[in-house]
A and B are shown apart, each in its own frame.
Chain A
Amino acid sequence: MQFLYVIKTALAALIAHRSRSFLTVLGIVIGITSIIMVMSIGSAAEAIIVGELGGLGAETVVVRPGKEPSGPTDFAESLFGDSLKDRELEALGRKQNIPNAIGVAPEILVPGGSISFEGETFRPVILGFSAEFMRDSLGLQLSDGIFFDETDIHNKARVAIIGGRVKDELFGTSDPIGKSITIKGNKFRVVGVFEKRGQVVFFDVDELVLVPYTAAQAFLTGNNYYNQIIVRADSPESVDRVVFDIQATLRALHNIDDPADDDFYVQTQQGLVEQVSTIIGIFTTFLTFVVAIALVVGGIGVMNIMLVSVTERTREIGLRKAVGATDSDIMSQFLVEAVFLTGFGGVIGIFLGTVLSFIVGFILSQFVGLAWQFVFPVSAALLGLLVSSGVGVVFGLYPARQASRKSPIEALRYE
């Protein structure tokens, strides 16, 4: 039988049972749609996170307390670890310890708490850090006022730089510079306002309140340790050297001989990017695997309907054999039908999945303010097409074989 005719015949049979064909492939459609969405959203999320981490700067090295996280409890240990204090900061700041460092600053994340000004309140992200360091490493600019400096840090000055949204919420259109806001019961004087920039690395600059880390410790957290210490290398090339020096310095300070006993860990931008990519990759793979189960279920549905169709068309099969169809002609006719059915489901699924992931991306970028970049997952689309057709072959094989084995005499039997 000529191939073009096989295709025409298969299409005609599917179109003749339009609604049944559509319902049959619904499982495949859902499966492929989900796979496309998982892969598209996964790669877009990865692109965002990696992009954010890029904002950290290749020269930035982060020192955190606790062990390097390899599970959820480790993260908690890292968040509440107290192995980084003044002593460590001072050691890391010494030029002879880390010759390639051009800046060291500790960071304190002040948990919870709202701020207020004349009755207006807001819940911002409160960070104790160095303003100049932040300017240099993240390239943040002010729309108004000035950065607080080393003197303010030294004096534990109660000054703050606030994000654009914080300013809008508390002050509206009036000038905030010089005004005092209340943070956890303490008055802080506003000295600057950040330019609106949205999400940068892990926080939203617009919702940030930045105070000197010394003031954060003295007035807001009441303890003497840091959440992390940021070290800036003089060039991206010297990052490895800096990491090595930091480890050597802190191990000497803490009398650690075996790196396995480290009570701190060092992260670089590249290391973070790799870590995040790995985690997202694992998630995406896992989800894809779960979603693939839908395809198996869909395939079984297709097989079911194909078997029904073979029985229904016994007379047609017999007739075709009587006029000269070979077993393999009949087999390929039903196999092509099954592959068309699932392949068609795959195409619909790719289309739906693409549209839905675009909508998800659109919503996230419009309403959540993420810099969402819609990614059409070419590899996922190809995979979807391949998998859906493959499902057709696998689950169409048995019904097609049943069809090809029918005896032509059955066509001669009366109904």
Chain B
Amino acid sequence: MALIEVKNISKEYPDGTRALHGVSFEVEKGEFVGIMGPSGSGKSTLLHVLGFLDAQSGGTYKFQRKTFDDYGPDGIARLRNEKMGFIFQMFNLLARASVLENVKLPLSYSTIPSSEWNDRAMKAIESVGLAHRVDHEPSELSGGEKQRVAIARALVNNPQVIFADEPTGNLDSKSGQSIMEILQHLNEEKGHTIFLITHETYTAEHAKRIIRVRDGEIAGDSLVSKRRWARDHFIK
């Protein structure tokens, strides 16, 4: 059974804008899916629906065979906490909190006892190579480092799916490479299912499969024939 089932989904905003129309696909556990399209194509809206951050107007979306209504509001919050990790283009770190505090944030909403928070957060921080930065605040970090903190935050609860919304959009190409390397590593070695939203073909080609979105509809869904591998030698 597929991890994610999207059936004939549409999304209209109250002002009448049609962001999605008749979108259907399935994603299995362990896939690395690039969702690609120009700005305004509806790819971000699609991500919101997939992450249960927003409800679709029509069609059905099932995550692990359950819909938004099946989970209920608190169930959704718990799902986002335990099964999903989000990485945003703007990093969205808490400005006045240290790297450690930022990474601990999802743990504070979990059922994990607080005595384990530090160990878990440190492991996640080490996995993105920022152990030497734990006590720094985001303003003291470079863009690439901020995004690695965001990845550590997304990882800390060991989620099944990671949603990355233009994760390299605000980074120079070298920093972007390291982010892509980490994502590929998480997918290959740790088995996380990854959704990568981007408007660049180059970035999208780091995924195994690309779903192309245009004008709210799916314009193509294919495996990547020549997959790119990020080799920044960031992960030894």
Contacts and interface: CB of A to CB of B under 8 A. Distances in A.
Q: Do A and B bind each other?
A: yes
A5 interface: yes
B89 A325 contact: no
Contacts of B110: 324
A12 B96 contact: yes
Contacts of B78: 324, 326
Interface stretch (A90-98, A339-347, A404-412): A404-412
A381 B97 CA distance: 35
B178 to A, nearest CB: 23
A320 B53 contact: no
Interface string B127-162: 000000000000000000000000001000100000
B44 interface: yes
Which interface residue of A2, A323, A414 has the most chain B CB atoms within 10 A? Answer: A323
Interface string B77-96: 11011100010111010101
Contacts, number: 71
B73 A323 contact: no
Interface residues of B, number: 29
A4 B114 CA distance: 10
A300 B135 CA distance: 38
A152 interface: no
Interface string A1-38: 11011000100100010000000000000000000000
Nearest to B88: A412
Nearest to A313: B94
A324 B77 contact: yes
Interface residues of A, number: 27
A199 B49 CA distance: 82
Which interface residue of B48, B77, B106 has the most chain A CB atoms within 10 A? Answer: B77
Contacts of B126: none
B105 A409 contact: no
A257 interface: no
A11 B108 CA distance: 15
30 contacts: A2-B108, A2-B114, A4-B114, A5-B108, A12-B96, A319-B92, A319-B94, A320-B105, A321-B77, A323-B80, A323-B81, A323-B105, A323-B153, A324-B106, A324-B109, A324-B110, A326-B73, A326-B74, A326-B77, A407-B53, A407-B54, A408-B53, A408-B80, A409-B48, A409-B53, A411-B92, A412-B53, A412-B88, A414-B90, A415-B90
Interface of B: 44, 48, 51, 53-54, 73-74, 77-78, 80-82, 86, 88-90, 92, 94, 96-97, 105-106, 108-110, 114, 153, 157, 165
Interface of A: 1-2, 4-5, 9, 12, 16, 315-316, 318-327, 329, 407-409, 411-412, 414-415
